[in-house]
C-alpha cells in the first residue's frame, strides 16, 4: 500500500482528497437526480454559464464563488421561467441561454484580459490550489445535498414523473423543481475551484450515469453514485500524481473510461458472453493502472547543496548559470509552454514542498505560484526576481517581461547569487564568481545588440508584435512599438474587429515591413493582419518562454540574440543583421 498512500502524505494531496470526498457526496446525491430527471445538459450549461460571473469577479475583485453563484442562480431562474410556458423546449431554452451567457462572457473577457486577469484558471480550476474557504464551501454543499436529498426525494421524484402527486406531498411541483435546480447550481459552483466550469458536469453526471446502468432502485443509485464518485476521485487523484497530469481532467477521463467499460459489460452480458469478452478489457485496464504506477515525479538531484524551483524557462536558465552543480533545480514551465494558461502539475507541488528556494519571474506570468505554494506546504523562501529589475509600466500596470532588457538580466543574476549564498554559505564564493562571469557575458551581448540596432535607420525602428511582450527591448534599443495583434500583455487576450482594422491601418501608415509573432503562440491572426497590411510575418521570436534544447533560443542569451537578429532583419528587409551570438 505504500505506493498508493505515499502521494497522500503531501498536504496539497490531503486537501484535494478532502475536496473530493465532499464533492463526491454532493455529486452522488444530486447526480442521481440529474440523471433521473435528464438534467445533464442543464448541469453542464449552468457550470459553463458562470463564465461571465467569473470574468466580472476577476475584474472587480469579487470573490469568484459569490459571482459564480449569482450567475448560476440567475441562469437557473431564467431557464425555469423560459421553459414554464411550454412555448420552447427545455433543451432549446437551455442552449439559447447558454449561448447568451458565453457571448456576454467573451465580450467581457476581452476587457478583463487587457488587465491580465487569469480567467483560464477559473474555467479549468485546480485541485492543487484550494483554499480553506473552498473546502468549507464544498463541505457545506455536501451536507446540504444530503439534507435536501433526504427531505425532498419523494417530491423530486413526483414532480418529474407525477406532478399532481408532488402537490399531495405538500411541495408543489414548480417549487420542487426550483429547489432541485437551485441545489444543482449551488453544487456546481462549489466544484469550480477544483475542476473549473468546463469539467464540473463530469463530477455530477458521469458517476451517476454509470451506476444508473446497473442500479435497480433510487436508493441504490444514490449510494452507488456516491461510492463510485469517491472511488473515481481518489483513483484519479492518485493517477494524476503518478502521471504528473492535471487532476481534474484525469478524474473526468477515468470516469468516462469507467462508464465505457460498464456500458460494454452490460451489453456483453445481455448477449450472454460477459466473461469471455470482458476479460481482455479488464486486463487492459489493470495493465494501464499498473503502468501508471511506474511513473515518477520530477525532482531535483538528491545530493545537491540547495534544492531550488524556478517558475519560468528564463528564470531557470539564469539560476542554472549561477548555481551550477551545487543547485538541484526543478523548472516548472517547459520550453514553448505559455505561462499565462499553465495549470500546475502534482510534480510541481512536490518540488515546491521540498525546495529551499523558489525563484519566480513575478507579475501575472507566474501568478499561479501563490496557491501552489499555499497548498504544497514546505518552508521555501520565495525570491521575486522582478524586484531586482528596473520595471516599466503603462496605464497603471507593470510590464512583467523585464528580462527582455539584458541589463535587468544582469541584475537578476546578481540577486540569484546573493540568495543562493545566503542559503548555502559554503558555496557563496562559487555563486558570486559564476554570477560575475555570466553578468559580464550579458553586458557584452547587450553592448553588441545596441551597436547592431543603432545601424537600423530611425524610420525603420518600428515594431508590431503578437502581444505586448517586447516593451523593455524596444525601450532599451530605441524601437517604437506601434501596436500589438493581441491588445494585452497576456497571450489570452482577444482582439476585436475594430482593434484588427486599426492595427492594419497603423501598419500601412507607418510603412511597417514585418509583423512579429512568437514561436509559442498561434500566428494565424498576425499572419492575416500582415497580409492585409502588405507586410510579412516573422514568427520566430521568443517572448514568454525559451525554446527547446537545440534551438537558437534554448538559453536566455541565445533567445536575446535570436530575437535581435529576427527583428533587425525583419524591419529592414534583410539590410541589417544582428549576428551577435550569445
Residue pLDDT, tens place only, 203-252: 899 999 999 999 888 899 999 999 999 999 999 999 988 888 888 888 98
Cβ atoms of residues 423 and 558 within 8 Å: no
Q: Cβ-count burial of 67 within 10 angstroms (0-12 exposed, 13-18 middle, 19+ buried)?
A: buried
For cell 505506493, what's the residue? 3
Handedness of CA 157, 160, 161, 167 (dihedral sign): positive
pLDDT at 272 over 70: no
Mean pLDDT of 172-183: 83
Cβ atoms of residues 82 and 91 within 8 Å: no
| Per-residue cell: 404 | 527582455
Dihedral angle over CA of 553, 555, 557, 560, nearest 10: 30
Edge-to-edge order in the sheet of strand 357-360: 327-331, 306-310, 357-360, 381-384
**CB count, 10 Å around CB of 498?**
8
pLDDT at 286 over 50: no
Coil/strand/helix, residue 406: helix
Which residues, in sequence order, are CB contacts of 283 under 8 Å at separation 6+? none
Helices (H), 455-523: 471-477, 497-510
Coil/strand/helix, residue 327: strand
Give the residues across from 485 on adjacent strands: none
| Per-residue cell: 303 | 545530493
Mean pLDDT of 399-421: 96
For cell 423543481, what's the residue? 177
**CB count, 10 Å around CB of 549?**
8
| Per-residue cell: 524 | 494565424
pLDDT at 280 over 70: no
As a whole number of angstroms, the distance between CA 193 and CA 204 comes to 15
Q: Indicate the pairing of strand 306-310 with strand 357-360.
A: parallel
Cβ atoms of residues 231 and 62 within 8 Å: no
As a whole number of angstroms, the distance between CA 389 and CA 401 comes to 10
Most confident of 161-165, 202-206, 373-377, 442-446: 442-446
pLDDT at 282 over 50: no
Q: Which domains does the chain have, with CATH numbers?
A: 2-292 (1.10.3470.10), 306-448 (3.40.50.1980), 453-571 (3.40.50.1980)
Handedness of CA 406, 411, 417, 420 (dihedral sign): negative
| Per-residue cell: 116 | 491580465
Mean pLDDT of 385-407: 87
Question: Percentage of the chain surpassing pLDDT 70?
Answer: 85
Cβ atoms of residues 340 and 492 within 8 Å: yes
Amino acid at each position: 500500500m505504500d505506493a498508493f498512500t505515499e502521494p497522500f502524505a503531501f498536504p496539497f494531496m490531503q486537501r484535494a482528497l478532502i475536496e473530493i470526498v465532499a464533492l463526491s457526496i454532493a455529486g452522488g446525491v444530486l447526480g442521481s437526480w440529474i440523471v433521473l430527471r435528464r438534467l445533464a445538459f442543464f448541469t453542464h450549461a449552468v457550470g459553463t454559464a458562470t463564465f461571465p460571473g467569473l470574468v466580472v469577479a476577476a475584474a472587480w475583485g469579487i470573490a469568484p464563488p459569490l459571482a459564480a453563484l449569482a450567475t448560476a442562480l440567475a441562469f437557473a431562474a431564467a431557464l425555469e421561467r423560459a421553459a414554464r410556458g411550454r412555448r420552447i423546449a427545455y433543451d432549446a431554452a437551455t442552449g439559447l441561454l447558454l449561448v447568451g451567457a458565453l457571448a456576454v462572457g467573451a465580450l467581457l473577457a476581452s476587457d478583463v484580459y487587457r488587465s491580465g486577469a487569469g480567467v483560464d484558471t477559473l474555467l479549468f480550476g485546480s485541485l492543487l490550489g484550494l483554499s480553506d474557504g473552498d473546502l468549507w464551501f464544498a463541505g457545506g454543499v455536501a451536507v446540504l445535498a444530503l439534507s435536501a436529498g433526504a427531505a425532498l426525494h419523494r417530491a423530486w421524484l413526483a414532480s418529474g414523473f407525477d406532478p399532481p402527486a408532488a402537490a399531495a406531498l405538500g411541495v408543489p411541483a414548480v417549487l420542487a423543481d426550483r429547489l432541485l435546480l437551485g441545489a444543482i447550481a449551488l453544487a456546481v459552483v462549489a466544484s469550480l475551484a477544483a475542476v473549473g466550469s468546463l469539467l464540473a458536469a463530469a463530477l455530477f453526471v458521469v458517476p451517476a450515469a454509470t451506476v444508473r446502468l446497473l442500479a435497480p432502485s433510487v436508493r441504490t443509485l444514490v449510494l452507488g453514485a456516491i461510492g463510485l464518485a469517491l472511488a473515481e476521485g481518489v483513483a484519479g487523484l492518485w493517477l494524476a500524481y503518478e502521471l504528473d497530469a492535471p487532476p481534474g481532467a484525469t478524474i473526468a477521463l477515468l470516469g468516462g473510461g469507467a462508464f465505457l467499460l460498464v456500458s460494454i459489460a452490460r451489453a456483453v452480458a445481455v448477449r450472454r458472453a460477459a466473461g469471455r469478452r470482458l476479460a481482455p478489457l479488464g486486463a487492459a485496464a489493470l495493465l494501464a493502472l499498473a503502468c501508471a504506477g511506474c511513473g515518477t515525479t520530477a525532482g531535483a538531484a538528491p545530493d545537491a547543496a540547495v534544492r531550488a524551483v524556478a517558475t519560468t524557462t528564463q528564470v531557470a536558465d539564469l539560476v542554472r548559470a549561477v548555481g551550477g552543480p551545487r543547485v538541484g533545480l526543478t523548472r516548472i514551465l517547459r520550453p514553448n509552454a505559455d505561462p499565462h494558461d499553465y495549470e500546475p502539475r502534482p510534480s510541481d507541488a512536490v518540488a515546491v514542498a521540498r525546495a529551499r528556494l523558489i525563484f519566480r519571474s513575478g507579475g501575472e506570468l507566474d501568478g499561479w505560484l501563490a496557491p501552489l505554494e499555499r497548498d504544497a506546504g514546505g518552508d521555501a523562501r520565495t525570491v521575486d526576481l522582478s524586484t531586482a529589475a528596473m520595471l516599466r509600466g503603462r496605464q497603471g500596470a507593470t510590464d512583467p517581461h523585464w528580462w527582455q532588457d539584458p541589463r535587468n538580466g544582469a541584475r537578476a543574476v546578481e540577486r540569484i547569487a546573493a540568495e543562493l549564498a545566503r542559503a548555502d554559505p559554503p558555496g557563496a564564493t562559487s555563486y558570486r564568481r559564476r554570477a560575475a562571469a555570466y553578468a559580464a557575458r550579458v553586458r557584452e551581448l547587450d553592448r553588441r545588440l545596441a551597436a547592431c540596432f543603432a545601424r537600423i535607420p530611425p524610420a525603420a525602428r518600428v515594431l508590431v508584435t503578437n502581444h505586448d511582450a517586447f516593451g523593455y527591448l524596444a525601450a532599451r534599443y530605441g524601437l517604437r512599438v506601434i501596436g500589438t495583434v493581441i491588445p494585452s500583455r497576456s497571450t489570452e487576450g482577444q482582439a476585436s474587429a475594430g482593434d484588427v482594422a486599426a492595427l492594419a491601418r497603423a501598419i500601412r501608415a507607418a510603412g511597417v515591413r514585418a509583423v512579429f509573432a512568437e514561436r509559442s503562440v498561434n500566428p494565424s491572426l498576425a499572419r492575416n493582419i500582415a497580409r492585409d497590411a502588405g507586410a510579412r510575418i516573422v514568427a520566430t521570436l521568443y517572448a514568454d518562454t525559451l525554446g527547446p534544447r537545440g534551438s537558437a533560443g534554448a538559453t536566455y542569451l541565445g533567445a536575446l540574440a535570436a530575437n535581435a537578429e529576427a527583428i533587425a532583419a525583419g524591419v529592414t528587409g534583410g539590410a541589417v543583421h544582428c549576428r551577435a551570438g550569445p
